[in-house]
Chain A
Amino acid sequence: MAKHATPLLDQLESGPWPSFVSDIKQEAAVRAKNPRGIDYQIPVDCPEDLLGVLELSYNDKETHWKHGGIVGVFGYGGGVIGRYCDQPEMFPGVAHFHTMRVAQPAGKFYNSKFLRDLCDIWDMRGSGLTNMHGSTGDIVLLGTQTAQLEEIFFELTHNMNVDLGGSGSNLRTPEACLGQSRCEYACYNTQDMCYQLTMDYQDELHRPAFPYKFKFKFDGCPNGCVCAMARSDFAVVGTWKDDIKIDQEAVKAYVAGEFAPNAGAHSGRDWGKFDLQKEVVDRCPSQCMKWDGSKLSIKTADCVRCMHCINTMPRALHIGDERGASILVGAKAPVVDGAQMGSLLVPFVSCEAPYDDVKEVIEKIWDWWMEEGKNRERVGETMKRLSFQKLLEVTDTPAAAYHVKEPRSNPYIFFKEEEVTGGWNRDLAAYRKRHQR
């Protein structure tokens, strides 16, 4: 017999897509039975109380989680988010229900031992519920009480050799696409850059010193599978400089219908015979391709490396050999000042460990933003407020045409005093000699 009746939530158990309600009920049943003989350190029935409070929200159409509550582990300002229920008498099992963010390996490869060890900790000291994963990338352990925080941190660091992630006004847990581990498009080792920078910036990750959150993300190619350009203040997106490599025989095999275009991604419908001219050459955004019926050619100088031709014929076309990445800065979701996309700052970095060239850009941006940024202002907003020129200046980047989609259409140009012959300090008396008052 369930602790709370959940007639509304029960309706989310039907239908084919995995039901989180069924899963939470499953966890509630396991905890009630306690087959492992766990000495639970927080209320056994917290999954049931979570369903109870959620059912109440489904009735009220309002959340029942309180605002605020500062909790954490000693010496860190990030990694733990305090959470309290606003109906603690009705749902004592979730009266205190804090979140802990655990740092995930870049690319999110695990083995069962690591996950089972984590489950064991969370069985005894937490709710048995998680998010796999939070939007930023961390493993999110969902629901524990204050007295358990240090204990969990101790067990994570001492027994599992793993740390908490970021939260608050600090560096958030960086994330990368799976990169070279299983992708032929990866222009650099995204996981390694992510790992190295995460390790180098542990202090910034755990001790909030920024105006607001700051996110790194690492995409191996312009396909953007971790959405770096849209979701991170500092996006490193793989690219290359030289020719796309073409296997002409494989191109012909695509034309002949021997290989499925786009790696078979369109196999759910009959789109007709593959038409190289129509589907690839004509769709090239920079019109840099030609197909004469037997040979495909690409004018590299015109190529903008959008990935369409490579995605469409992965067995025939391959990324170039002079590989690295572009850096884009300032993406964010709407709050506070509207959504922003990352803006191109560095067209090409080589991406070789220890990534000093990348770190140099990051640190210059941080120095500037920490000095000038307002409370709760993302770096993209600081850039908008103080200008892209200022960002170029603080990062020692010479302005170039690749920084803009088009040059400005208004002539309200700010000049620096040293850019104007004679400076701004003028002689009024000499002026008056030429012009009567």
Chain B
Amino acid sequence: MAFISSGYNPAKPMEGRITDIGPHKYDEYFPSVIKKNFGKWLYHEILEPGVLMHVAESGDKCYTVRVGGTRTMSITLIRELCDIADKYCEGSLRWTTRNNIEFMVDSEEGMKALRDDLNSRKFDGGSFKFPVGGTGAGISNMVHTQGWVHCHTPATDASGPVKAVMDAVFEDFKSMRMPAPVRIALACCINMCGAVHCSDIGLVGIHRKPPMIDHEWADQLCEIPLAVSACPTAAVRPTKVELNGQKVNSIAIKEDRCMYCGNCYTMCPALPISDGEGDGVAIMVGGKVSNRISMPKFSKVVVGYIPNEPPRWPSLTKTVKHIVEVYAANANKYERLGDWAERIGWESFFKLTGLEFTHHLIDDFRDPAYYTWRQSTQFKF
């Protein structure tokens, strides 16, 4: 392996340097039917799960075939996507916010050939490469984060549990029998790069043990005041400890104040927090982003902790599947999971789902906690 230069000259880094040119313009790669009818769309229909038809004022039709994607994706797979786009779609394709991939064509025949081709492709291991689905009142692809594949703060993996959950709800990716869309998301820690705080079902990796303190390295690896100020509950404070006969600057943690957010670890690598036994997943439900009918709302924690069970997280997937089924059986048409839970009342939600209500589900974090306690005699026995 000989080093190959791109043309960059480290001796003269500014020579010919190009910076701050930004992304490509959004319309550079539009399929022609999109380019022609930009801003002139009249209405759309979902012809079947995963297949959309948009009709323009001109009468033109754009057929979109949507497939689930893995987010973590090899270039071999991307090249295969390119081959498909070249064959059917003038080389164009797009990704959605939920990591689906969409192919667009301007004829129904083209759509059918494309759809059948996409559904026919499988990995050597047996799973589909490009399953068609993810539209309407069904379950679309899960937004998720990096997990153990690439992140330094996760409390759980991301790609693994997502694969397990999507396997469990695969039929609902391929169909539209839900009362309303169900958006599932997973964040591998409460930093929530995956923003599960407003999903119908949010899975979030949590730690349950305060960080360890690496006294030998604390003062060398960290700005101790930054670690102290990073703590939202004032559990972290500076201290001096004796180490190998010497007093060193370090950190002390008031453990019963710690809620394991990991923020101090982010500021100070000498405070490792991950733990095979302590870490796991909390399940949140009822969040949404849309303004439709009711206002956007946060997800609420309904299961405080499920242990990490790699490789297939059976307890987690079983609970998610169960929540989906109880919701599907009980909610009204157009009613999002959170709207349903609020209509019937959370006490009924726990009764219907059989999920155990524990003290972990009562908020105890600052002001927002107070606004979630019941201040009324209106409740259901």
Q: Which A residues fall within an 8 A CB radius of B? A: 8-27, 30, 39-41, 47, 50, 54, 57-58, 60-68, 74-76, 83, 97, 99, 103-116, 118-119, 122-124, 128-136, 142-143, 147, 150-155, 157-158, 161-163, 173, 175-178, 180-184, 186, 189, 191-192, 194-195, 198-199, 202-203, 205-206, 222-227, 229-231, 237, 260, 262-269, 271, 279, 283, 285, 305-308, 311-312, 314-315, 333-339, 341, 374-376
Contact = CB atoms under 8 A, between A and B. Distances in A.
A122 B75 contact: yes
Contacts of B17: 74-75
B306 interface: no
Given A112-B91, A124-B4, A266-B333, A14 B68 contact: no
Given A14-B127, A19-B125, A224-B290, A202 B76 contact: no
Interface residues of B, number: 151
A11 B5 CA distance: 41
B279 interface: yes
B26 interface: yes
Nearest to B34: A181
B7 A99 contact: no
A109 B136 contact: no
B18 A157 contact: yes
Interface string B329-355: 000011000000000000000000000
A111 B25 contact: no
Given A122-B75, A181-B34, 15 more contacts: A12-B311, A16-B127, A18-B128, A22-B126, A39-B2, A39-B4, A83-B152, A115-B78, A124-B4, A132-B101, A135-B194, A181-B38, A182-B54, A374-B229, A376-B267
A23 B73 contact: yes
Contact of B261 (A23, A50, A142, A335): A335
Contacts of B266: 67
Interface stretch (B143-151, B318-326, B373-381): B143-151
B176 A375 contact: no
A130 B263 contact: no
Contacts of B192: 333-335, 339
9 contacts: A13-B125, A19-B123, A39-B4, A67-B153, A128-B75, A177-B97, A195-B25, A227-B289, A339-B192
A308 B24 contact: no
A61 B310 contact: yes
Given A22-B123, A113-B91, A202 B74 contact: no
B123 A106 contact: no
A351 to B, nearest CB: 13
B45 A260 contact: yes
B250 interface: no
Given A11-B312, A105-B29, A339 B197 contact: yes
A68 to B, nearest CB: 5
B75 A119 contact: yes
B197 A267 contact: no
B130 A18 contact: yes
A103 B151 contact: no
Contacts of A113: 91
Interface in B273-311: 274-277, 279, 287, 289-294, 296, 298, 308, 310-311
A161 B23 CA distance: 8
Contact of A16 (B128, B181, B187): B128
Interface string B76-109: 1111011101100011111111010100100000
B113 interface: no
A385 B159 CA distance: 37
Contacts of B181: 265
A131 B178 CA distance: 29
A-B interface, 3 closest residue pairs, ranked by CB to CB distance from nearest: A265-B136, A13-B125, A333-B192
A367 B342 CA distance: 40
B50 to A, nearest CB: 12
B191 A268 contact: no
A114 B78 CA distance: 11
B334 to A, nearest CB: 6
B69 interface: yes
Nearest to A239: B291
B129 to A, nearest CB: 6
Given A8-B311, A336-B261, A184 B289 contact: no
A183 B96 CA distance: 13
Interface in B184-234: 187, 190-195, 197-198, 226, 229-230, 232
Interface in B11-54: 13-14, 16-30, 34, 38-39, 41-49, 54
A268 B177 contact: yes
A224 B7 contact: no
